[in-house]
Structure 1
C-alpha cells in the first residue's frame, strides 16, 4: 500500500501564505467598500500642497463676504452673487470656527471633492457593478479638477458633490421608488440649485434615465411620478434664487462669450483640467457600450453629453452665455462612472494598467494646477492671455520687509476695477506673516458691507482721507506703465502727487509695489 506524505498542519502555514492570508482580507475590505479608496485618494490629492497656490481674486471675493455678519451677507445677496449665497453662509460659520488660513478656507472644498468621488463610486456600482464603481471613483479622484477646484475657496467642488449625490439618489429611487428615496433625490436637487442653478441642466439626462426605466416597466407609474414631484419641489424651492440670479446675471456672467463649435470641442479639456486625460476618460466611457448594461451606458452617456449640448445651445442663442468649463463640472460624476464601466470590462490587470495610464496622462496637469500662481488660470488648460497672475503674497512680503510704524497703504486697481481685490489680498497675506503688519488704507471709502456689495467704494475726498502718514505703500495692478500713480483714481492721483514722491518701485507678478515718501 502506497504511503502519502502527511499534509502540513493547518495551523502552520508557510511564510508566503501567511502574508497572503493577512493581505487578502484587508484588500477585500478596502475594495469591498467601493467608496473608500476613491474618497481617500481625492482627499490626499486635495491636501497635497494645499497652501501653495496664492488666493486669486475669486477666492478673495469669498473672503470679503464671509467676514460679514449673516444679516449683511443676506443683504448683499439681494444685489449680487445670490447664486452663491448658501456657500457664503456656510463658509461664514466654518471660518468662525476654523480660521482664515489658506488651508482652512480650502478644506471644505477638499472634503466636498472626496465626497464626490465616493458618491461617484457608489453610483458606478449601481450602474455597472462593484469593480466599475471602484474604478469610476478612482478616475474622478485622479482628475486634476479634483486638485484644482478642491483647493479653491468657491462653490464648484460642492456642485460636483451634489451632482454625484443626485445621480446616486436617482439610481436608488429608480431601484426602489419609495417616498423617502424620492425625497432624498429632491433634497439633492434643491442643494444643487442653491449652489449653482446652471448645474440643474443634468436633469435632462436624469429625465432620460427615468423614461428608459418606465418603458422597461410601463405600469411602474411611481418612477415618473416621483421624479416629477422631486423636480417640482426643487423648482418651487429654487424660485427665489432663480429670480435674483436672472436679475444679476448681466453683472456676473456678462463677460462670458457666446460659444461656437470650437468652444464645444475645447470644453472637455477644461472639464478635466487635462486635454489628454479628457480623451482617455471619454474613450474608456465609450467602451462601456461593449458591456451588457446598455441602459446604464445610455444614462452615463446622456449625463455627459446632454447637459453640455443644452448649455451650448442656450449660450449660443440665448441672452446670456453660461458656457465655461467650471460651470459644467456636474457632468464629471457621470463621465467617470461611465469610464469605470468601460474599464471594468477588462481583466483586473488590464483595468489597473489602464487606470495607471490615465494617471500618467494627468500627471503634468496635476503638477501645473498646484503652481504658486496656478489659480489665476481659471480656464486651465487654456493659456491665460489677458492678464498676468497677481502675486498678492509676494507683494505683501515686500511691504512687510520695509514697513515702519505710521506707514499707510493705497491700492491701485486700474482706476475703478476693484474686483482685482488688491486691498483684500495684500492685507490678507500681510496678516499671515510673522510681523502681522496692518496699514491704514488711505484710499478706502464706504465698505462693501455698508454698500451691500462685494467691493468697497473709494474715498470721495482723498485730501481728507489722507492723515499724517510719513510714507505710503502703493500696491497696484501692474500694466507696464512706469508711472505707478496712474493706477489710482484721478482725484487720488493728484492728491498723492501733491504730498508724496515715489522713492522706490518693486515689481512682482502682476503687481507693482511703490514706496511713496512725503515731500
Structure 2
C-alpha cells in the first residue's frame, strides 16, 4: 500500500516542477552548492550553518547537472518517501487501508506539494522525521534503537529544529505508558543524536541575526498552520479536523501499546506548539517551513478518526432484533479513496496555482529576463541591497560583462553569500565616473519604505537621488530593474539614450 501514495506524491511533485524561475532561497541553494567544498566550508563558519549538510548533498547533485529541475528533484523524492512512510506508519498501527488513506491525504496536501517543488531541505527533513518515527515503533517492539538514533541525528543535521521531534516522540511514549527499558533505549538514542548536533547549534547560535526578520506568532498564525495541515478549503478543513478530533479519543491504547492517534497528534502539535511558544518569549524562531515535518501527523490523525468511525458497532441493530453486517472492508477502502479524490478536487486549484512562479515571494528569473532586455556588456550595475546580487548569481547570463560598482570581493572567495562590498567612499568615487547605471533593487528600498542599515546602500541611494534621474524601469513583484542616467549638462554633453523605452 505504501507504494501508491509514494507514486501519487511523485506524480504531483514532478507536475510542472520546472516553473521557469527560482525564488531567493532556492537561488541561494543553487549558487552555494556549485561552489567548491572548501568554499562551502568557509561560508558555513559565517552564515547558513543550519543548511550545511544540505548544501553538501546538493553540491554532488548539481555536479550532475546544474539546472532548476535537478535542484528540486531531491525535494520531490523526499516528499514521495514521506508519503510512503506515512502509509507504512498508518498500516502498522491500524490497518493497511488507514495507511493508504493517510499517505494519499499527505500526497494531495498543497503544503506538501509546495515544498516538494522547492530547492531547500524541508522535504528531506520531513522524510527523515517519518523514517525516525517508523524506527521509533520498531524500537518499542524489538528494542533496537541504533537506527532511530542514526536517522534522527542525520535529520537534525539537515535542520536543527527537527530536534523538536524528540519531544513529540516522548509524548507518544508517555501516552503508550511504555516500560523503563523502552525509555532507556529511546532516551540513549535521542541523547546521542542531540550530542552530535551540539557543534552545529553552537555555530548557528552565533548566526541568529539571519532570522531577525521573523515575527512573533499569533493566534492567526496557529490557525493558518492548522488549515495548511488539514485542508485549505473550508469543507475539507472542517471534515478532516473533525475526524482528527474523533481519532483523538483513541490516543491511549493501554500499557505498552502505541496507537495511531498516539503517534499522529503529538507529531502534529508538539513541535509547532513548542516553537511558537518559544518565539513568544524570545527572539522569534517560528516559520511554517521549519515544522513541515509535523504535517505528516495530520493525515495520520484523520485516518485514525476515519477508522474509529468505521469501527462503530460491529453490527447495527434493527427493529425486531434483526441485525445487518458492517459493509465489507473493500467497500470501506474504496469509499475512503473516493473521499481522498474529492479532497484532491477541492484543493486542485491551489495545487495548480502553486506551480506559478509568481506565487513565490519573488521570481528572480523574471527579473533577470527584464534586465537582459536592456543591460549590455560594459554597463555599470548596482544591487540594492547587496542581497539583490542573488539575481545575477542565479542567472549570470543576464549580467555577463557588466561592472558591479559596489563589489570588492565575490561571495565564493570571501566566504559570504553575496560578496563583500567596497567602502561607501569608494563606491561614491566609482559612481562619479559613470553616465548611467542599472540598479537591481528591492522596491521598498528605492521608495524609502525600508531603511537600509548598510552605509554603502545609503550612499548609493543618496548619489542616485542627487545626481541621476530614472530613465527606465521594469517592475517584477517586489523587485525592480531601473536605469539611472545623469541629466544633460553643458559641460558633460548629452547623455547616451537608453537602449529601451521608459518601460520594457
Normalising by the smaller structure, the TM-score range is 0.7 to 0.9
The more displaced of 41-50 and 59-68 is 59-68
Shift of 1:162: 1.1
Shift of 1:78: 2.1
2:40 aligned partner: 73
Aligned counterpart for 1:512 among listed residues 457, 480, 483: 480
The more displaced of 362-371 and 259-268 is 259-268
SS at match of 1:475: strand
Cα distance in 2, alignment partners of residues 243 and 394 from structure 1: 38
Judge conservation of contact 1:393–1:426 (CA < 8 Å) in 2. Answer: no
The more displaced of 445-454 and 123-132 is 445-454
The more displaced of 154-163 and 465-474 is 465-474
Judge conservation of contact 1:410–1:475 (CA < 8 Å) in 2. Answer: yes
Question: With structure 2 as the length reference, what TM-score do the two structures score?
Answer: 0.80
> Within the alignment, does 1:169 sit opposite 2:128 as a pair?
no
SS at match of 1:49: coil
Shift of 1:300: 1.8
Shift of 1:310: 2.3
Cα distance in 2, alignment partners of residues 310 and 480 from structure 1: 35
C-alpha RMSD over aligned residues = 3.1
1:205 aligned partner: 168
Shift of 1:163: 1.1
Judge conservation of contact 1:462–1:495 (CA < 8 Å) in 2. Answer: no
Shift of 1:190: 0.3
1:139 aligned partner: 105
Aligned counterpart for 1:477 among listed residues 430, 434, 442: 442
CA distance 1:272–1:58, shift in 2 (3 Å): farther
SS at match of 1:489: helix
SS at match of 2:407: coil
CA distance 1:468–1:259, shift in 2 (3 Å): closer
Cα distance in 2, alignment partners of residues 151 and 94 from structure 1: 16
Shift of 1:464: 6.0
1:355 aligned partner: 340
> Within the alignment, does 1:35 sit opposite 2:41 as a pair?
no
Shift of 1:356: 2.0
Aligned counterpart for 2:352 among listed residues 367, 379, 394: 367
Shift of 1:46: 1.3
Shift of 1:290: 6.6
Cα distance in 2, alignment partners of residues 338 and 430 from structure 1: 47
Shift of 1:370: 1.7
SS at match of 2:357: coil
Shift of 1:502: 4.5
CA distance 1:240–1:404, shift in 2 (3 Å): closer
Shift of 1:309: 2.6
Shift of 1:256: 2.3
Cα distance in 2, alignment partners of residues 480 and 254 from structure 1: 18
Cα distance in 1, alignment partners of residues 375 and 9 from structure 2: 41
SS at match of 2:420: coil
| Structure 2 spans left out of the alignment, 5+ residues | 254-258, 311-331, 487-494, 496-504
CA distance 1:66–1:126, shift in 2 (3 Å): same
2:457 aligned partner: 489
> Within the alignment, does 1:246 sit opposite 2:205 as a pair?
yes
Question: With structure 1 as the length reference, what TM-score do the two structures score?
Answer: 0.78
Judge conservation of contact 1:66–1:73 (CA < 8 Å) in 2. Answer: yes
| Structure 1 spans left out of the alignment, 5+ residues | 1-33, 377-389
SS at match of 1:445: strand
Shift of 1:239: 0.9
